[in-house]
Amino acid sequence: MRVYLRALGCKLNQSEVESWARRLAAAGCEIVESSANADLCILNTCTVTHVASRKSRQMVRRCARGNPQAPIVVTGCFAEIHPGQAARLPGVSLVLGTADKERLVDNVAERLGFPVLSPRPEQHASIACLHTRAFVKIQDGCNNACTYCIVRVARGRQRSRPMRAILDEILARQSEGYQEIVLSGVHIGAYGRERDETLPDLVRKILQHTRFSRLRLSSIEPWDLAPDLLRLWENRRLCRHLHLPLQSGCDATLKRMNRRYTTAQFSELVRNARAAIPDLAVTTDVIVGFPGEDKQEFAASADFVASMDFARIHVFPFSARPGTEAAAMPQQIAPPTKKQRGKRMAGIARQSSEAFRRRFLGRMMDVLWESGKADQWSGLTDNYIRVAVTHTEPLRNRILPARLLELTTYGVRGELASSRTTAEQADGPVNSI
Ligand code: SF4
């Protein structure tokens, strides 16, 4: 059976799709790159903003248009929060909520009457939709109560995967030749709290029992940035990148959002992190136009964001999600004002990102090369700078140094400094994935 899988939204959705793809491939399914060639489509949706919901609906419609014969399975946060809407979309045969994700492949097989998909471990899963970086889910759900957040509603309370299962999954990715593992979840800083374990315990264990080159943490809440966690970066395999969602640079707005820090605390956390991790990239998310954000609050937020030297900022106009506290708050901001504030914040984001990347021009940085068309290759430094080079030989999944030469719109153009890693010079090429 040929299966098409796609995820929208967060890295967690992506990591889920990748694990279903592996499970399906191990059971003998072919994972295809286009829905037009598929016997079955599985779509992992998002509803974090109204735009994400719209994109989720569009993704389903596109699939149905491209291949009206293939049954479509819709899961993810959009399906969880709006199951009726999801079921009415064209081509949809099955809607599965977030609780069904754990056993998604079995659920699909049982409910759509496909033959039982038993794993064939000897079969190598060659899966074109996978990234060069392996996203590994370590926990799901969140016990916080940020007033704008639909994710905690859709994904439920925090639950962590056992350390042993995470380690086994990472060892499997390592044996497939992955060079970078990204630990993903909704609230990864809360990892293991249900049973007295911590994220630092998990990271230490992973570093101790594995040998792949890079370990990256996905988004982590600022209040989880404890000294115990920062000490882990003494190990150079941890990527010098922290995504700390700020959400607003105004204390009054943060309070209405029910975030657990003030701007002064956030700023101190970042200062400590930068002191502990030289050349750290701090990236963030900022919401503009939160209910009650008047001119002064927005100005305070913009000034604070501009002062933080973020390496990258994702700007979101506030999107009222039905079922959240913020959706029912008074003083909702008019769409044109949100748009205008979004533009102003995006301008700050551009300047900040440019200033960060400029600091590294002229330097030699190791890059994990990911994708290339013809002789154009692109990859990421461990501190999340996207580098492009021209090179005629295949570079995918290799970590090779490049000299960073000039800024491009979103990254840096460079030149390859060597076409062989030190390990390759000794042992020959690494596995390709
Ligand atoms: S920490 Fe807040 S924003 Fe993040 S998932 Fe939990 S409730 Fe949502």
Domains of the chain: 2-112 (3.40.50.12160), 131-239 (3.30.750.210), 252-358 (3.30.750.200), 364-427 (2.40.50.140)
CA of 324 to the centre of ligand 1 (A): 12
Tell me, using a 6 A CB cutoff, whether residue 149 lines ligand 1. yes
What is the edge-to-edge ordering of all strands in the sheet holding 72-76? Answer: 30-32, 2-7, 40-45, 72-76, 92-95
Residue 428: φ, ψ to 5°: 90, 175
CA of 108 to the centre of ligand 1 (A): 29
Q: Probe ligand 1: pick from 49, 81, 149, max atoms within 8 Å of CB?
A: 149
pLDDT at 124: 47
Tens of pLDDT along the chain (433 residues) come to: 899 999 999 989 999 999 999 989 988 899 999 999 999 999 999 999 999 999 999 999 999 999 999 999 999 999 999 999 999 999 999 999 998 998 899 989 888 887 656 655 444 444 545 678 999 999 999 999 999 999 989 999 999 999 999 999 999 999 999 999 999 999 999 999 999 999 999 999 999 999 999 999 999 999 999 999 999 999 999 999 999 999 999 999 999 999 999 999 999 999 999 999 999 999 999 999 999 999 999 999 999 999 999 999 999 999 999 999 999 999 999 999 999 999 999 999 999 999 999 999 999 999 999 987 778 999 999 999 999 999 998 899 999 999 999 999 999 999 998 766 645 555 554 444 5
CA of 319 to the centre of ligand 1 (A): 15
Cα separation, 74 vs 53, whole angstroms: 12
**Ligand 1 atom closest to Cα of residue 186:** 5
Cα separation, 78 vs 51, whole angstroms: 11
CA of 141 to the centre of ligand 1 (A): 9
Q: Which residue's CA is the closest to the ligand 1 atom numbered 8?
A: 149
Q: Specify the DSSP class assigned to residue 49.
A: S
Q: Between vectors from CA 362 to CA 279 and to CA 360, what angle results, nearest 5°?
A: 25
Tell me, using a 6 A CB cutoff, whether residue 220 lines ligand 1. no
Cα separation, 383 vs 277, whole angstroms: 10
pLDDT at 405: 98
Tell me, using a 6 A CB cutoff, whether residue 152 lines ligand 1. yes
Packed helices 335-358 and 295-307: angle between N→C axes, nearest 10 degrees: 10
CA of 287 to the centre of ligand 1 (A): 13
Tell me, using a 6 A CB cutoff, whether residue 146 lines ligand 1. yes
Cα separation, 183 vs 187, whole angstroms: 11
Long-range contact pairs involving 304-307 (C-beta distance under 8 Å, separation at least 24): 304/249, 304/250, 304/263, 304/267, 305/246, 305/249, 305/345, 305/348, 305/349, 305/352, 306/348, 306/351, 306/352, 307/267
Q: Between vectors from CA 66 to CA 48 and to CA 112, what angle results, nearest 5°?
A: 75
CA of 254 to the centre of ligand 1 (A): 13
CA of 229 to the centre of ligand 1 (A): 20
Packed helices 104-112 and 11-26: angle between N→C axes, nearest 10 degrees: 60
